[in-house]
Amino acid sequence: MGLLTFKGGVHPPHKKKFSENEAIKILPLPEKVYVYTAHSIGAPAKPIVEVGDKVKTGQKIAEAGGFISANLHSPVTGTVVEFTKLVNAASGLKSDVIVIEREGEDQWELLEKTDDHTKLKPEEIVARVKEAGIVGLGGAMFPSHVKLSIPKGKKAESLIINAAECEPYITIDYRMMLEKTSEVLKGIEIIMHTIGVEKAYVGIEDNKSKAISHMKEAVKNSSIEIVPLKTKYPQGAEKQLINAVTGKEVPSGGLPIDIGAVVFNVSTAYAIYDAIYNGKALVESGISLTGEGVKKPGNFWFRVGTKVSELLDYVGIIEEDKIDRVLYGGPMMGISLPDTELPTFKGNNAITVMTKDVAPNKETMPCIRCSSCVSVCPIGLQPYLMKKLADTRKYDDLTNNNLMDCIECGACSYTCPSGIDLTKSFKTAKKVVRAMKQRRG
């Protein structure tokens, strides 16, 4: 029997050699942090501090602005010095930011903690995860307390831990499995207890053989199973991971819980452990600083809100005229930064510096209807047809062709021999469709 996987996908170069053997190092504390109030999918948080307020590390500085939202906490001990606006690279628009100037070393304000999570009721754990402001650290930044709250009428049957880390270059989850094994496993046990499942699966791509063998040894005699997966992008996409591990498909427009699945990634499991057992709010996390443009790539523990330029200063970058782009994340789904003076988010798992020689600009040619994009689409869409509909602004037809199911993985753009950036068109079209729905009510 071959390795488990999904239909479609591509095989970009792994590029993990830059940082996979680099143990996680703790970065120096930043002098200032810049905390976006919009730090998760959903409503921005509402500040509860004012300029001049003294704050401790881990102290709450903004309340969740709705059910789909997350609390914010100070990443350093210091003084709130400014409220300003900075560009959010994901939207291209300016967002509200709380600026805190550090004063000395950390003085932590901890949340309530426990020495045994099984003493807590599921709703108590959900409340503590919500208070800690934990969001998904695989990139999407969906509030974790929402995912832990199983809707009425639904039942969680299996927990799947996303350890695929299929994006090229990124290695932080790989290092977390090797270096924070017991903490990650304890986080998984907490999630299992909270959502009421008896079994958990950890899906790891087979290009991480050391992590597979290490984790298999660690979970002996437990109800956690390590599932080796075929190395293929986007193996770590939620729906593709569920399909590979369980054989089930999330229906169009549906959610994983519709088929009894709940998915968290490795670093999020660690963050949940840290909140429940150590009382720490989510103000720090792991990140890979990597790419051909980085002099000393590696994996690091960073404070949320640190400027990207400050992180890159620590590892060094090559001559500016050789750099093509700097990305939040990896080259397939990452967001190109307009300015490295922008700060990091909770969900930043990598900063990748691409050079011009490895990321040459493709000359764009007309579509030749080769169907390469169709064969690699992990959702089974027809990207070439959707691109034509997007170009002619036939948004209703585009919606009928399941535009909103597109996961924006970039596989179609990667494989297109004509160099057409199909994914960019779909991202824009989805924004238009959402705006049209709002206008129509």
Residue numbers in the known binding site for [4Fe-4S] cluster are 367, 370, 373, 377, 406, 409, 412, 416
Q: Which two tokens stand for residue 423?
A: 């994914």
Report the binding-site residues: 367, 370, 373, 377, 406, 409, 412, 416
What contacts 24+ positions apart, CB below 8 Å, involve 383-391?
383/412, 383/422, 383/426, 384/422, 386/422, 386/425, 386/426, 386/429, 387/420, 387/422, 387/425, 387/426, 390/425, 390/426, 390/428, 390/429, 391/425
Rounded to whole angstroms, the Cα distance separating 364 from 377 reads 20
Rounded to whole angstroms, the Cα distance separating 143 from 423 reads 25
- Residue 286: other Cβ atoms inside 10 A: 24
Rounded to whole angstroms, the Cα distance separating 32 from 304 reads 11
